[in-house]
Amino acid sequence: MAHFITGKIGVKVSIFVNFFILIVMVIGTYILINRQSASLEAELLSRGQIQSIVGAKMIGKIIEEAVDNGVFSVTEAFDTNYVTIGNFTPPKFHTKYDTYLDKAILSLEDEFLQDKSVVFAVAVDTNGYLPTHNSVFQKPITGDAEKDKVGNRTKRVFNDPVGLKAAQNTEKGFRQIYHRDTGQLMWDISTPISVKGKHWGGFRIGIELTTIETAKKNLMLTLLAIMGTILILSIILTTAIVSRSLAPIRVLSNRADDLAHGKNLQDEIATTRHDEIGELQGALNRLRMSMLIALKMKSK
């Protein structure tokens, strides 16, 4: 009976303590997830801004070196006489410098895609003309307009509102929400490219929003797993500690039950602690002695 009573108390205390721990952990986890998610998004966007700034400087330098080495003139570097290539939908164009850029900047642009959050990293002129796209978007032409729109996007003019703003932007790390014609929703981050002191175009970095959401989801699952593990350990430890703390009460409960039935009155109940349990031990021992005296007087 005593074990049942103290067992119920132990369960109640454990549930009560862990309930409040759970509330604190839920609130803490919610705040932490929100803060970490915001921090994660800010980190990805900041990284994209840095990448766009670095890319713009490198592309500008490559074009200037080509001019200095006589590959093409400054005028040709700014060629906007777009010559139609074949019969594509959307149309593709050739300029006086694009063949050189295919060789000079492709590997550089592809290097940015080593960052898995980056979907594309490209240079465009002020009209949105994209002479050299990343390798992943230069797949062989299939003749299927929809497939080619996704797989082969090089030498197109991206003069949609976001594309033109990115191309004509003069601000470093300029951010926009980009509804790509492939159906993807992403951040577009651009930095102006300067050639011989003149605005040539912009270097665009594309970061898909689902990449950020996936990163946030992974972060949330990781934090929930950690908090869940902590809660389980808390339940185990709390139950063990409460059970150990109630052990003396279980003993005293048994002794009180014995006293109630007049058993083991000769066995002293020692005071082993200096707390409430010790006070209870002393009180039960005094009760035991009183019962002994009463029995002796009765026997006389």
* pLDDT one-digit tens code per residue, 5-26: 445 666 677 777 777 777 877 7
Task: Output 290 or 65, whichever has higher pLDDT.
Answer: 65
Query: What is the helix (H) or strand (E) element at residue 208, kind and residue range?
Result: strand 198-208
On whether the CB atoms of residues 116 and 51 are closer than 8 A, the answer is: no
What is the reported pTM? Answer: 0.66
Query: E-assigned strands of 89-164?
Result: 92-94, 118-125, 129-130, 156-157
Mean pLDDT of the chain: 86
On whether the CB atoms of residues 159 and 128 are closer than 8 A, the answer is: yes
Instruction: Provide the pLDDT confidence category of residue 277 given band limits of 50, 70 and 90.
Output: confident
pLDDT in tens, 233-268: 877 887 777 777 767 777 777 777 777 777 777 778
pLDDT in tens, 163-218: 999 999 999 999 999 999 888 889 999 999 999 999 999 999 999 877 667 777 78
On whether the CB atoms of residues 249 and 6 are closer than 8 A, the answer is: yes
Query: What is the helix (H) or strand (E) element at residue 235, kind and residue range?
Result: helix 209-260
What dihedral do alpha carbons 16, 17, 19, 21 form, nearest 10°? Answer: 170
Alpha-carbon distance of 300 to 55, in angstroms, equals 108
The whole-number pLDDT of residue 5 equals 44
The residue type of 27 is: I
The whole-number pLDDT of residue 128 equals 98
Alpha-carbon distance of 172 to 57, in angstroms, equals 11
The whole-number pLDDT of residue 2 equals 44
The whole-number pLDDT of residue 8 equals 65
Structural domain boundaries in the chain? 2-33+215-299, 43-208
Q: Inform me whether the pLDDT recorded for 134 exceeds 80.
A: yes
3-state helix, strand, coil in the chain (%, to 5): 60, 15, 25
CATH of 43-208, picked from 3.30.450.30, 3.30.450.20, 3.10.180.10, 3.40.50.300, is 3.30.450.20
